[in-house]
Structure 1
Amino acid sequence: RWEREGKLYRLDGTIEPTKFKDATLSVDELESLRSAATAVRRGRVSCIEDDGTLTFEDGTSLVLPWDDSDDGAIAYVHCSAGAFNYSKKDPSSKPEPVFRGGKITMQDVYGTPGFCFMGSVIARLETIPDLTDDERNALSLFPGCDDSPPSDSAAASRPPSSPLGPSSGWIGALDSSHGYVQRLANVIGWYENAELGPWLVGHRLFNMGG
């Protein structure tokens, strides 16, 4: 029904998908994806070798039809991975900041409306040349695990993790490390930035874009 109403899309209407990954795209973008001349359907990719060869979970491999001898000339984009797997985090470790010395680590800087919007904001922050990594990270706050060290007295009252493991969805007293507080701080900072604020207005993926 949702597909008939244009709320959900399939790349190939003859194939029944096994998962929904919360992708966001327009009809024009969907048609562009459908125009790809080659589609490889061998299941999940387990790794990409240094020379670009794709290795699949069933042990088979595929040599891609282009030369990657020029190191760094080709980017491989994993579009189906879960972006934030809190259950596999080490509670004793400090999460990676979004920006650090030329490296970008995707983090949950806003939550809903989802990964595509957050990715666009992080990419836009990267393109503002007069910001340092520290300044970009101050605009990219994100929640850690429940078991991460408390940031203040309110966080210290949190109960231990549930038997299901760490979660970013703690519901309790608000403090500076709470996802909702961080989300609000990020939005305020984004709108106050001379380049980022106007860019957000009318952003088609932003639920507060106006």
Structure 2
Amino acid sequence: MDENLIETDYLVIGAGAMAMAFVDTLLKETNARIVMVDRHDRPGGHWNDAYPFVRLHQPSAFYGVNSRELGSGTKDHAQLNEGLYELASGAEVVSYYDQVMNQQFLPSGRVRYFPMCNYTGDRIEDHRFTSLLSGANHQVRVHKKVVDATHTQTEVPSTHPPRYRVEPGVQCMPLNNLPKIQHPHSSYVVVGSGKTGIDACLWCLQNGIAPAKICWIMPSDPWLIDRVNLQPGLENFERTIGGLTAQFEAIAAADSIPDLFSRLEASGQLLRMDKSVEPTAYRCATVTQAELRELRRIDNIVRLGKVRVIEPTRIVLEQGSIATSPNALHIDCSASAIPTLPDMTVFDGNKINLLMLSSCQPLFSAALIAYVESHLADQAEMNALCAMVPPPHIPTDWIRMWAVNLSNQLRWGEYEGLTRWIRQSRLYFLTAVVRGLQETDTAKLAQLHRLSVSKQQALASLPRLLESIV
């Protein structure tokens, strides 16, 4: 027998955030043996490659794995997130996952973890991986299922080259290297309008770079979520539950997609950089009003599409060109944080695909998939509970995501055990909001009733709005 043969119930490809959330719940709900294989030297996936000043865009209260709190549950005193619940830094997230692995998973005796290894199997029957250090090959015999945790792998600028040509003589770096700058530059050109582009601009402004020296190339204006509406705790109940209700009421009342987004903006649920520019992107990114005010200090915003080439004195874009300088620093933020995925099923024979089931909540989704895997056996029934929510890219994806998400929620409510588990899951956004709610608090209970009514009205209106999307 091959001395490198490994036997296990579940083989998990990847040890990123979704993989960790899945394994954490699988350990709690079953007695399964699990093998995890990942290319990084520590768990946490893309967090190991992220820029040093990265932070969560959502409160730490509902990030990580179900069994372990992330952070101290305190509020930030920093100016741009002041008064809101803490956002863990990248270093804190990596340390957290290291603790989960070494203090929970491995001591269980049911998890074997192989870092610095590359999976080379076919994800169907032939399962093998190779050490990136020793070159040793291992074959894995999987008794139950292989879990593919690589579908929603986040790209970061440090691991993906620019999506445009950079000619000799141009100073261009990923935003990971910003803290290594040794001397001032004549100007700073930020390429990208996603989360990394926002973070790069805020970092420059917070470190004293004058707004007039910043040029922000924004291929597509995004709709943004106001972080104040995503706060845990009963003290935020009215705003958070009221915000969700406002979203559902907007869906129910809107007579068109433009009318829908107008209502969402008017109720404070979505924000945009410039009210005179119609956003063409939506990626679940959150900002505070303070961050938005900072970003609006940048006047030189270039809206000429994507960059094609950066020359020493010129930047060529899809719809024109602008001047630049050999002394300018070009900051690459063009990596795609959210991949484009084909329609897939979560449960595919002997394979489990970790996909998003709840809008902008990939970790809760992964944990829920593990619960369903642990307690149901009929694959059609399991997939009916776990319809894939499409990854967000364009504004109309906001409504597409809610359409699938709400349908999933309806089906979840038909299963008592699953409903009970969701209500106890710290990764579920609403759990962090309603925790501690008393039966005597009639005002809050009335607000939850209004939320339920508005959700039913939204479900009735969704098909009409979806049909209007070209």
State the TM-score bracket (shorter-chain normalisation). 0.3 to 0.5
Structure with max Cα Rg: 2
Larger strand percent: 2
TM-score, length-normalised on structure 2? 0.21
TM-score, length-normalised on structure 1? 0.38
Q: Which has the higher contact order (CA 8 A, sep 6+)?
A: 2
Larger helix percent: 2
